[in-house]
Chains A and B, each alone.
Chain A
Amino acid sequence: MTFTGWLTIFGFAVILTALAMPLGSYMAAVYSGRRTFADRVLGVPERFLYRVLRVDPTQGQDWKAYGRSVILFSLAGWLLLYLILRTQTLWSFTGLNPQGFHSAPWDVTFNTTSSYVTNTNWQYYGGETTMSYFSQMAGLTVQNFVSAATGIAVAVALIRGIVGRSGRSLGNFWQDLVRTVLYVLLPISVVFSLVLISQGTIQTLSTYVTAHGLTGLSQVIALGPVASQEAIKLLGTNGGGFFNVNSAHPFENPTGFTNLVEMLLVLVIPAALVFTYGRMTGSRRQGYAIYTTMMLMFLGAAIVAYVAEAHGSPAQHAAGLHTGVIAGSSGGNMEGKDQRFGIAGSALFDVVTTVTSCGAVNSALESFTGIGGAVPFANLSASEVIFGGVGTGLYSILLYVLLAVFIGGLMVGRTPEYLGKKIEAREIKLTALGILVTPLAALFCTAMAVASSAGRQSISAVAAGGPQAFSETFYAYLSQANNNGSAFAGYTGFVQPVAGNVGSHGITFADLLGGLDMLFARFAPILFALAVAGSLAGKRVSPAGLGTMRTDNPTFVVLLIGVIVLVGALTFFPALLLGPIVQGLTGRLY
């Protein structure tokens, strides 16, 4: 452990907070319909889009109408993306398929399409060997924008339900969608694409180049329009890499500085939305309490991961290797990590990407030490509420807030109420369901996969049967259920003998199970969150008094952390026991 390492972690937290606060108030203005400095420029395309979509933005939607719009929009996006990906060769005339890639099989495409529409970006494929530039730009990147915007829109709708003083309107989905893309995602993406380019991230449409090494061996170097996709990959907590190795690739994430920028891009909107929440509820302290909850859990995870990786693995110690910091070596466990990021830069990235639903990685998660590798498991087990995905993080933690309010509210002797609104049977039912969906999906799919021979096909032969195989399987479905997309490699749904998909085939079972896992765990919680919003929207607000449980003080933060940890731990303890924990307790390698 080094001073620079600790500085990276805590400095990151400070910069993140400093960036998220102003962005949060800006977004509150965007979603409250207040004028912002951007109106003058973006008002024109915004009004144009409303005309094209035939949307009256002043028309409020109740939760059902809002939910219907979300589903319809996502369904249309799904069909379009599936079509684009399956007809990859047809689009060669655009010149955007320089390598002449064929389409991936239907089952892999089913998985990939579901993955991008649900903001998961789980990838059974490797980008540079499967996807044409056209598919990347017109297919995947579009979903990177709109699936992120959908998540944010749902969060905003839930806020409106919680704050709503009268009526049942949660706002207008189409307006929220358009404004999110135009006012938030696009400007930041453009700016940071340029920043990345300045650091060496590539942006080109030319064919792959072949390099001839000194030894006479040649190597194909994949290229592509990376920078334009990179910024939104992170900003929208999508995480689908242009290249197979994701943010470890020097064309995606060239320097230590871009590493920091990328991590900030991942967390800035999820963090800002919490402040947006405080602004929109009219009580910034509410936002601060949730922010504190998230930040404490985030720092806890980062510290554990950093200490574990800097300490090195038991195997290193057993072999008598020196794992301390010496001149010219960062020490610790460097397996699967890049020198330009170092231990802290890799451990922190790992935590950033798994607390959110991003899933981009700059190092190999399965090469982390036992405890360091248990951190992403724990983060995913907390159901993506530690900042979480854009929008999804906020609406998910708000469901936990309602649960904590219910239990805590009873303990102070009043019918539980949140921001003056009573939490009654209907809200509890919807909240409980909304919280349970993700863990249920993860456990159910994992059980299906480990219990069936079809499921075991996806496990790489070396590891088959051991705890590592279990970890990989469990992580795959946990990651897909949480719409994260990061992976403990070794679990696959795509067998691809050569680049370009000729002769490739999917592992149908894993592709379909994973795809359904993602779709179910994305849209069921969205509908439950919207239903909660609809149920709260029309409720009478009672003024807070001394007898009301406060939800903006340290006691509540403790209660909230307790509820999140307990729900996660009780649900996943048996599975974690057989995967990362058993591996962490033994010197044997599986």
Chain B
Amino acid sequence: MSVDTAASLPQPSGRASGQGPERRAISLFRGDIVRRAMIDSLRKLDPRVQIRNPVMFVVEIGAAITTVTWFIQLFGGRALGGRDPAWYTFVISVWLWLTVVFANMAEAFAEGRGRAQADTLRTMRQETLARLRDGTTRPASDLSRGDVVVVEAGELIPGDGTVIEGIASVDESAITGESAPVIRESGGDRSAVTGGTRVLSDRIVVEITQEPGQSFLDRMIGLVEGAARRKTPNEIALNILLAGLTLIFMIVVATVRPFGLFAHTSISETTLISLLVALIPTTIGALLSAIGIAGMDRLVRRNVLALSGRAVEASGDVDVLLLDKTGTITIGNRLASEFVPMAGVSETELAEVAQLSSLADETPEGRSIVVLAKKYGIREHDMTALHATFVPFSAQTRMSGVDIDGRQLRKGAGDAVIAFAESEGGTVPAQLREVLDRIAREGGTPLAVARDSEILGVIHLKDTIKEGMRQRFEQLRQMGIRTIMITGDNRLTAAKIAEEAGVDDFLAEATPEAKLALIREQQAQGRMVAMTGDGTNDAPALAQADVGVAMNTGTQAAREAGNMVDLDSNPTKLIEIVEVGKQLLITRGALTTFSIANDVAKYFAILPAIFVSTWATTAHSHPAQGPLHVLNLMSLGSPRSAVISAIVFNAVVIPLLIPISLRGVAYRAVGASALLRRNLLIYGLGGLVAPFIGIKLIDLVVHNLLGA
């Protein structure tokens, strides 16, 4: 993130520091998560759970059949096992069960990590007694919409609501991870409070806006646990495709048997089931739900709470980003950018006076003047060493400055300084008006500087674009996303800042209605729109946008209108959200490609094993080798070892890919074509080649060391 430079300056909204502390990724291999995941992956073997995942359900049925076959063989039956030895059936059935278990484990790990986070959250949901305004008390869990409660310093806020009376500092670290307290007050845009946070000072009256069990915290827990997870549209579509592939491979495998018999080759059920399991897309089928849960988890770690999985997916599709100028594109305050001296005054002289007048001025504007003056080689002065007296800003004078050695140095609004100079008996330089007007026209704020009766020049304060924003927008353009800056400034100013920041477009003199109209217009053109907002008047636009990210500092109305809440209240977070959304889809696509490409190698392992003796003319070698044995490209040790190796590879690739499915495939803002080429190469070509190597290595172990 690039806004750290700005973070040294106080932000207007109290605590919207550029970047909240990223919630740390909870390690995959924390003991309790692993233990729980192991237990869960066995519990999920329940067919009623498996049936939700057609691919893995087929594997489970296959595992059950081979297990039964093994039992029959143990007791001397040969009905299903054909000429297979019992140990072969046993090994295959074990690995088929393991395939299902690994798939369950992927999901369990993803859920486990979310659950660990949820547990942390749950500890905050202590049962508190809410004090209603009428003096009665009631358990917090019974509060419903419209109840009005009183919360005093040291107490937990019993539920989500809006402050209707009073002002208080609130510790929200429990949900945001940010330890600095925030101000919550009635009216305005900082009136929303969250249940489970603690009031540190003062007393507020809160009107509850949630129904029991529907609090922010409840929803957050549900989401990270995956309990509230519903399949997203793309996930459903992908599931259908996987089911379709499973169907076709079932037919393919079912026909292999009569085809084989026609060629006088009998194939056992165990081997056929192995072929089926190897072909159906088990890899992506096993990891699909883990990928979804992990996507949600990645957002939570970035302190973003998505209220639906659909919104996360939609964020990958965003075409247009609406960004507020202030606080997002520019840092909140205007900073000195230029000294404009009057005729006969040198820039250095103006800079020196401006600096002296600002020495005691602790406002960001004042400090920026000192910083700018440094560029003119003016050293910093020490107020006390100068025996200077600070003249603070007042609403009457609208100026501030210092008195040094009997001289009065002042800076302030143009007309105030003119009045001051005239009262001291000075004259107003002819060009002053012109300079003041020019700066105002450009959207800047002019501050005149006077030394006693003499007006020396003007300080140009202007909006400063946050560092790195240009690159960010360039990146977004590469991703195919247009940025539109929203500002209340006039067109001229807006155009200038827009150009400087490198946004694609801007909406000047924006009103909430204009914002809403802009979103509708973009959507009518078929674009997906994302925006951030915090005020109540943002709520309609947030609701209209396809991805509306409400700032946690915002009002309850805004938080309910959006489909995501950013706990850090960092408007640039949208960019990260888009990346997470894209990553989610890319991970699914890449692993699907990988899974299907793997099939080629599995064919080359299993089919030569099945048909090694088909149409054999000589019986010298054992087993007799027919013409098809040349397809054993990997020269796998024996037919049984080949089948086992393919199945083992098919199973172990699942846990091997768990990390990548939880972390997500890297997203690069390089444009769709380059991205597609890259992923096709890695997951398509890689998916073709990797199993050849993997199966061969497994075969070396299975055949040579274990003698299969």
A interface vs B, CB < 8 Å?
A: 403, 406-416, 420, 423-425, 427-429, 432-433, 436, 439-440, 443-444, 446-447, 450-451, 465-467, 469-470, 540-543, 545-550, 553, 555-556, 558-559, 562, 566, 569-571, 573-575, 577-578, 581-582, 585-586, 588
Contact B611 A412 (CB under 8 A): no
Q: Contact check, A574 vs B317: say whether CB atoms are below 8 A apart.
A: no
Known A547-B671, A555-B677; judge A451-B258 contact (CB<8 A).
yes
- Asked if residues A571 and B319 are in contact (CB atoms below 8 Å), the reply is no
Answer whether A450 and B259 are a contact pair too, CB < 8 Å, given A542-B527, A577-B607.
Answer: yes
Q: Please, which residue of chain A has its CB at the minimum distance from the CB of B682?
A: A411
CB-nearest residue of chain A relative to B477? A546
- A413 pairs with B627, CB closer than 8 A: no
**Shortest Cβ distance from B54 into chain A, in angstroms?**
13
Q: How far is the CA of A408 from the CA of B684 in the complex (A)?
A: 11
Contact B240 A432 (CB under 8 A): yes
Is A412 within 8 A of B248, CB to CB?
Answer: no
Chain B window 412-445, contacts with chain A (Cβ cutoff 8 Å), 1 for yes, 0 for no: 0000000000000000000000000000000000
Residues of A within 8 A of B481 (CB): 545, 547
What A residues does B256 contact at CB under 8 A?
Answer: 574
Q: Return A128 CB to nearest CB of chain B, in Å.
A: 34
Chain B contacts with A in 525-542, Cβ cutoff 8 A? 525-528
Contact with A along B364-380 (1 / 0, CB 8 A): 00000000000000000
**B628-A582 in contact (CB<8A):** yes
Pick from A409, A428, A541, A553: contact of B241, CB under 8 Å:
A428
Is the CB–CB distance between B237 and A407 below 8 Å?
no
The reply to whether the CB of B313 lies closer than 8 angstroms to some CB of chain A is yes
Chain A residue nearest in CB terms to B629: A585
A-B contact list, 23 entries, CB within 8 Å: A403-B241, A407-B593, A408-B589, A410-B590, A412-B672, A412-B676, A413-B583, A413-B584, A415-B233, A436-B244, A444-B255, A446-B259, A542-B526, A546-B478, A547-B480, A549-B673, A550-B672, A566-B596, A570-B600, A570-B603, A573-B607, A575-B259, A578-B263
Instruction: Report chain B residues within 8 Å CB of A432.
Output: 240-241, 244-245
Tell whether, in the assembled complex, residue A582 and residue B593 are in contact, meaning their CB atoms are under 8 Å apart: no
How far is B262's CA from A175's CA once the two chains are assembled, in angstroms? 49
CB-based contact A446/B241 at 8 Å: no
Tell which of A406, A559, A571, A573 touches B237, judged by Cβ atoms closer than 8 Å. Answer: A406
Q: How far is the CA of A412 from the CA of B665 in the complex (A)?
A: 11
Interface of A is mostly: helix
A425 pairs with B586, CB closer than 8 A: no
Give the size category of B's interface with A.
35 or more
Q: With CB as the reference atom, state the residue of chain A lying closest to B610.
A: A574
By a CB distance below 8 angstroms, the chain B residues around A410 are: 234, 238, 585-586, 588-590, 592
Minimum Cβ distance to chain B for residue A559 (Å):
6
Between A543, A546, A555, A566, the greatest number of chain B beta carbons within 10 A of the residue's beta carbon is seen for A546
Q: Which residue of A lies closest to B523 (CB)?
A: A540
Q: Could you give, for residues 671-695 of chain B, a 1 whenever the CB lies within 8 Å of some chain A CB and a 0 otherwise?
A: 1110111011001100000000000
CB-nearest residue of chain B to A583: B627
On whether the beta carbons of A413 and B240 are closer than 8 Å, the reply is no
Residues 579-625 (chain B) with a chain A CB within 8 angstroms: 581-586, 588-590, 592-593, 596-597, 599-600, 603, 607, 611, 614-615, 617
Instruction: Please give, as numbers and ranges, the residues of chain A lying within 8 Å of B633 by CB-CB distance.
Output: none
Are B585 and A578 in contact, CB atoms less than 8 angstroms apart? Answer: no
Contacts of B316 in A (CB 8 A): 413-415
B residues in contact with A558, CB < 8 Å: 680
How far, in Å, is A368 (CB) from chain B's closest CB? Answer: 18
Interface pair A467/B263, CB less than 8 Å apart = yes
Contact among A450, A451, A548, A585 with B480 in the assembled complex (CB-CB below 8 Å): A548
B236 at the interface (CB under 8 A from A): yes
**Do A415 and B313 contact each other (CB < 8 Å), given the known contacts A410-B586, A428-B240, A546-B477?**
yes
A413 near B586: Cβ-Cβ < 8 Å: yes
Alpha-carbon distance between A486 and B525 when the two chains are bound, in angstroms: 49
Contacts of B244 in A (CB 8 A): 428-429, 432-433, 436
Q: How long is the Cα–Cα vector from A440 to B247 in the complex, in angstroms?
A: 10
Contact between B262 and A451 (Cβ–Cβ < 8 Å)?
Answer: yes
- Whether A413 contacts B255 in the complex (CB less than 8 A), given A428-B241, A549-B672, comes out as no
Using known A-B contacts A548-B480, A550-B672, A562-B684, determine if residue A578 contacts B611 with beta carbons closer than 8 Å: yes
Contacts of A427 in B (CB 8 A): 237
Neighbour of A578 across the interface among B259, B603, B675, B677, CB < 8 A: B259
Are A586 and B240 in contact, with the CB atoms below 8 A? no
Contact A578 B262 (CB under 8 A): yes
Write out the residue numbers on chain B whose beta carbons fall within 8 Å of the beta carbon of A428.
237-238, 240-241, 244
Cα distance A252–B61 in the bound complex, in angstroms: 56
- Cα separation A569 to B597 with both chains bound (whole Å): 11
Interface 1/0 per residue, B299-336 and A, CB below 8 Å? 00000000000000110110100000000000000000
B434 to chain A, nearest CB (A): 44
CA distance A251 to B555 in the complex (A): 86
Docked-complex contact A440 and B251, CB < 8 angstroms: yes
A409 to chain B: which residues have CB within 8 Å?
585, 589
Q: How far is the CB of A25 from chain B (nearest CB, A)?
A: 28
Known: A436-B244, A440-B251, A555-B676. A425 touches B259 (CB 8 A): no
A362 to B233, CA, bound (A): 51
User: CB distance A575 to B672 under 8 Å?
Assistant: no
- Tell which of B314, B615, B676 touches A559, judged by Cβ atoms closer than 8 Å: B676
Closest Cβ of chain B to A282, distance in Å, is 15
